[in-house]
Amino acid sequence: MESMGKHDGHFSKFALILRNRDRKFVNRIKRLQIDEAQTIYTAGIPKHHQPAFRPAYGNFDTIRLLFPKTTTVMAFSATFPPHILNVVKKKMTMAPDHLLIKRTSE
């Protein structure tokens, strides 16, 4: 978790709260909404023998453990090809009975 929420070498206030496990605050969070969730794959995991560009994005499965199981997690993206969606579902620790909504602009 060393790379989680770092900005110019310093942890953000939110990352410090999570890192220090301020349970009173964390238990009040009811939803996590991840926009552009494809970045979990595109920037968060190593590919083609190159390190991840933003390794913290690939740590969502670890970060998710800091929240209660009752916290609803939503992922949004306009670019979820099957191979990216599979990685995102794994990293977000989505339950097998998750709800997937696909919409097209056509």
pLDDT in tens, 45-86: 999 999 999 888 888 888 888 888 889 989 999 888 999 999
Based on the number of CB atoms within 10 Å of its own CB, is 57 exposed (0-12), middle (13-18) or buried (19 or more)?
buried
Ordered alpha helix ranges (H), 1-106:
13-19, 23-26, 39-42, 60-64, 82-91
Q: How far, rounded to the nearest angstrom, does the alpha carbon of residue 58 sit from its chain's CA centroid?
A: 7
- What's the full length of the chain, in residues? 106
Average pLDDT over residues 87-97: 88
- pLDDT (0 to 100) of residue 1: 47
Q: Under DSSP, is residue 23 helix (H, G, I), strand (E, B) or coil?
A: helix
- Strand blocks (E) in the chain: 6-7, 10-11, 31-34, 72-75
| pTM assigned to the model | 0.75
- pLDDT (0 to 100) of residue 7: 47
β-strand 10-11 against 6-7: which pairing, if any? Answer: antiparallel
Could you give phi then psi for residue 30, rounded to 5 degrees?
-95, -25
